[in-house]
Structure 1
Amino acid sequence: MASKISTELLILILNNVQSTQDLYSSLLVNRIWCKVTIPILWVLPLGQECCINDKKKALCIRTYISCLDTQARTLLSQNGFDLSSSPPQSIFDYPSFAHKLKIDNLVYFISIYSPQISSQQIIDSYENFHNYSDLIGSILKLSDAPKVFIKLESFTSMIGDYELICPLYESLLLTCDNILNIDFKLNSNSQIQLLEKLISVQKCLENLSIVVNTRTECLSLLNFISKKETLKKLRLKKVNFYHLRGKSSPIGQFISLRELYIEDCFGLHESDSLFFASSFPQLSSFYFRHKYYRYPQEFIIRIFKRTNTKLRKIYLNSYTTDTFLAILNYCTNIIKLTLHNLRPEHVIAVFNNNFNELRRFSFDCYCEEGINADKLLCQMAENVPNSLETIIIKMDYDNPWIFSTDSLRKFFEEWCCKGEGGNKKPRRLRIKRSLKSNNSSFSPLNMIAISSEHFKIIEEYGIQFDIKE
């Protein structure tokens, strides 16, 4: 039966398989399935997250070495590698499938796979980058490197030392010009210059993520990337905007940017940063995470004003009354809204604001007197948007919601049937637990007073219900 599936359809199916174990199983079906599955599996090793004790993933180095030509194998032998377990032959050209590269993974896996270089190979692996930087840079300069890396789509480097990564950057500049996703950690102005050069040669860069040492000034880089017309998504973490003091609008307009992620950045509360908030005229998604003492209220409001009804997705881990009112006033076409520490009256305000396109609303609710869940559910029911498909409520273990079956039924009646001529629409309700319990007998169901009668109502209205950590 499997042999009757066309190769094109099989590729589409297996590309959507999430389980690595299932992909390994598909290798055993027949030769065609094996030939299709191998490239999908070998996209993963250097592009996925790894942990400090992940020895199995490091075995990919053994296979990669088997694929190298005589020149490359000689280079490795001269640098102290024992190649006896990697004979010079392989069935597939495995390196050509590596379209995603986290250089940290490559360095880390080499350190685990080659114990001759470090006696404490796992514990000290991240301290031995200097043993491999020239080696990796040399590998990328080999004659076969362009054939492998010309297809590179994603590149990540969290190595902060300029001297260590310089050979690598120089090699990539000559090899890769079609990278879609770049994720970098920047510790110096020299690194910024290298990154600018790498970005400048990319023809279709869409996603850029930058984590910055707070002492490093990267405003010139921001001005540089604002001119990258292909850029659609930008993530800035720990950028120090205090460097904007006294400067007159050094950052250009990100006219093509659609998604902006700002995490734990400094100095956005200052007036010199406000013009930066006006640099995103086409923004459709805004993610903001803040944990420092000066909340940049005016900066956030300026973004809402500038993008206005174009803004469709918002995530704020904290807010003020004024920023909340700005969402209600300017972002009326919102489809996905996530807000933390909402007061009950603000939850009701979201439902009363005629967000006619809102599909997903995620929130946790705070009240010093505790949450009157019955009252809140009944008030939510009065103006629940017809478009709303998913509600995610994050609950604290110490303040569970307690609601009756009557209030739950009333809410579901309005949510599922309103405007549909009595026909019930499938909806999704998720409860997220915000605090772990040390009690071994703890169950997520303990967070809410829920009984078999509640579950009957949930089933009656066809609600997709789940409780998650």
Structure 2
Amino acid sequence: MANKISIELLMMILNNVQSPRSTQDLFSSLLVNRIWCRVTIPILWELPFGQECTMDDTKLRKRALCIRTYISCMDTQARTLLTQNGYDLSSSPPQAAFDYPSFAHKFGTDNLIYFISVYSQQIIGSDQDNDNDDYNNKSRILFREICKLILNRCSFLDYFKLAGVSKIFFRNFSNYSDLIGLIPKLPDTPKVLKKLETFVLVKVNDDELIKPLYESLALICDDILNMDLQFISHQYPQLLPEFISAQKRLENLSIAHSELPIPMFCAIISQKETLESLRLKSVNFHQLEGESSPTGEFVSLQKLYIANCTGLDNSNCLSLASSFTQLSNFHCYHSLYNSISYPQEFIIKILETANANLKHIFLNLYLPIPSDIFTAILNSCTMVTKLTLHDISIEQVIAIFNNNFNELTRFSFDYNGLDANKLLCQMAESVPVSLETLVIRMGIFNADSLRKFFEGWCCEGGAGNKKIIVKRTEQARLFKLSDEHLEVIEEYGIPNQLLQTHNSS
């Protein structure tokens, strides 16, 4: 007889089997026995509205079937309302084996919209397909009833995503701001949202109907750990800043595709004691021009991601850069499509402020790395372990190798010259002993140059755990490794699969 597993241990095991993207691996555990089934069901039904949703027709239709189950859990009054509005509930009998809504701990309005849209197309007759107003009204009713069902039955939500309506489903939900505005009016909302840990906001207008939700969230939720704000407007510029400022232990903040008014800037600063990660993508800081005031030190901030932001060289932002003293991971990206120059002074200020604390640096400014930024890396970031620099010269590569970066384990760079033999030969003379992984996008090189580089890199104890990844530039896209190249790789103890060639991408 098989040994019995305690319920607590089984829950721990199955919770670790599930993936944020898929619950597929859990389905087989439903068939083991009744105990496994009772433990698995709550885990499976925690995620329907929290998983990432793709537009794959087959998968979307399968996942939309959860709407039928939720309808089975509704009371008589709600079911009667749906029937009166044209829903055929024959596939959703008024009974369910479990109290499925009580298991929900993650809720995204976008997933609910997707599922309702697919479900409504299947349930409501095709003779009503041309009546957009009627179709929209039916979908809104079902949305409201499921929101009420989940918020009334579940004990808490730790993830809440508020998203705009995709064009694909605009026919069903031409406007649902009033539905979102009703959420804070439900009696169980304060209890359910009190334990909220993650809040995501995507493409939602700050109109008058949604204003009550923001105001309620600021009063109810003060222990949020993660905020992700994308494509936000500022019709009411104080709403989101007040919500952010109300948090006592915010660790991760991401803002994308937005103007950044002064209240939002101040809200970011208000989290300087707890913030560990800050991501800013396509954010305009030009509204912050003017007199700067001391920011203070961000005592916990470890990771900073900047991509295609503008206006970062004003005095307020430079003061902000001087406050990132504990930064260990800095990622800055500036694309070809951004016509405004990259924030050179801001980048240098970060490098000089964080200095030896910086362990991971990623810089892709589209243009070659300028000498001032490169010098700041050499002089200030001496303890870096992972360094990625796009488009640098041979001289800059050799300067990195000669700079006594004793902790450098991974170095990645682009060299745009067609002939890479000179590069490999010069690198061989001063490759850091600590270097384990080298990633290069470069041109053509012969086997002799590769051998010379390996002689310099692997001279002590062979290849060990060393790894080189070569990515082809556009100029060298037809270049392939010859038998001579492969013999050199084998000679120095580097398995063939560790030298990878990729097209430029």
Q: Bin the TM-score by the shorter chain.
A: 0.7 to 0.9
- Matched with 1:226 is 269
CA distance 1:211–1:297, change in 2 (3 Å): same
Within a 5 Å distance, the mapping from 1:86-101 to structure 2 comes to 86-92=92-98, 94-95=100-101, 98-101=104-107
Q: Equivalent residue of 2:406, what SS?
A: coil
Q: 1:95 to 1:280 in 2, by over 3 A?
A: farther
TM-score, normalising length from structure 1?
A: 0.79
The answer to whether the 8 Å contact 1:58/1:109 transfers is yes
Alignment deviations for residues 54-102 of structure 1 (CA, whole Å, 9 cap, x no partner): 5234444444444556677678778886655444544455555555544
Q: Give the unaligned 5+ runs of structure 1.
A: 396-400, 438-444
Q: Which moved more, 1:178-187 or 1:72-81?
A: 72-81
Q: Which moved more, 1:241-250 or 1:12-21?
A: 12-21
- Is 1:358 the counterpart of 2:408 in the alignment? yes
Match of 1:279 in 2: 323
Q: 1:69 to 1:363 in 2, by over 3 A?
A: farther
Change (3 A) 1:180 1:270: closer
Residue 407 (structure 1) aligned to one of 436, 439, 449: 449
Q: Which amino acid aligns with 2:116?
A: I
CA offset digits 1:190-213 (Å, max 9, x no partner): 454222333244343211111243
CA contact (8 A) 2:224 2:250 kept: yes
Greater CA drift, 256-265 or 447-456: 447-456
> Any conservation in 2 of the 1:196–1:221 contact (CA below 8 Å)?
yes
Question: Is the counterpart of residue 298 in structure 1 residue 345 in structure 2?
Answer: yes
User: In structure 2, how many angstroms separate the alpha carbons of the residues matched to 1:102 and 1:199?
Assistant: 19
Which sits farther off after the overlay, 317-326 or 243-252? 243-252
- For the structure 1 residues 243 and 128, does the alpha-carbon distance in structure 2 shift closer, same or farther, using more than 3 Å as the test? farther
Alpha carbons of structure 1 residues 274 and 148: separation in structure 2 relative to 1, 3 Å: closer
1:113 aligns with 2:119: yes
> Does the 8 A contact of 1:416 with 1:424 survive in 2?
yes
Deviation at 1:308, TM superposition (A): 0.9
Task: Answer yes or no: is 1:180 the counterpart of 2:219.
Answer: no
1:311 aligns with 2:353: no
Q: Does 1:347 align with 2:397?
A: yes
Q: Which secondary structure state, in structure 2, belongs to the residue aligned with residue 269 of structure 1?
A: coil
Which residue matches 1:46?
A: 49
Out of 329, 333, 339, which is 1:289 matched to? Answer: 333
The 8 Å contact of residues 14 and 37 in structure 1, kept in 2 or not, is answered as no
Stretches of structure 2 lacking an aligned partner (at least 5 in a row)? 122-134, 140-164
Cα displacement (A) at 1:231: 1.4
Q: How does 1:65-144 map to 2 (within 5 A)?
A: 65-67=71-73, 85-92=91-98, 94-95=100-101, 98-115=104-121, 116-117=135-136, 123-126=167-170, 129=173, 131-139=175-183, 141-144=185-188
Judge which range, 342-351 or 162-171, deviates more: 162-171
Alpha carbons 1:268, 1:299 under 8 Å: kept: yes
The answer on 1:389 being equivalent to 2:436 is yes
Percentage of identical aligned residues: 54
1:426 to 1:187, Cα distance in 2 relative to 1, 3 A = closer
Moved more, 381-390 or 231-240: 381-390
Quote the RMSD (CA, aligned, Å). Answer: 3.9
CA contact (8 A) 2:21 2:51 kept: no
Q: Structure 1 residue 322 and structure 2 residue 367: aligned?
A: no
Task: Please report how far the alpha carbon of residue 343 of structure 1 lies from its aligned counterpart in structure 2 after TM superposition.
Answer: 2.0
Equivalents in 2 of 1:144, 1:196: separation in Å? Answer: 25
- Aligned residue for 2:419? 371
Which letter does structure 1 place at the counterpart of 2:498?
Q
TM-score (norm 2): 0.74
Deviations 1:143-192 (A, max 9, x none): 55556544543221112311254344345446544332111135443454
SS of residue matched to 2:287: helix
Largest Rg, 1 or 2: 2
Q: Which of residues 233, 254, 257 is equivalent to 1:209?
A: 254
Give the AA of the match of 2:136: I
1:300 Cα deviation after fit = 0.8
> Does 2:179 correspond to 1:160?
no
Q: Residues 221, 114 of structure 1: CA spacing in aligned structure 2 closer, same or farther, 3 A cutoff?
A: same
The count of aligned residue pairs is 448
**Residues 1:382 and 1:63: Cα distance change in structure 2 (over 3 Å):** farther
- Aligned with 2:279 (options 209, 227, 235): 235
Letter in 2 for 1:310: N
Q: In the alignment, residue 425 of structure 1 is paired with which amino acid? A: G
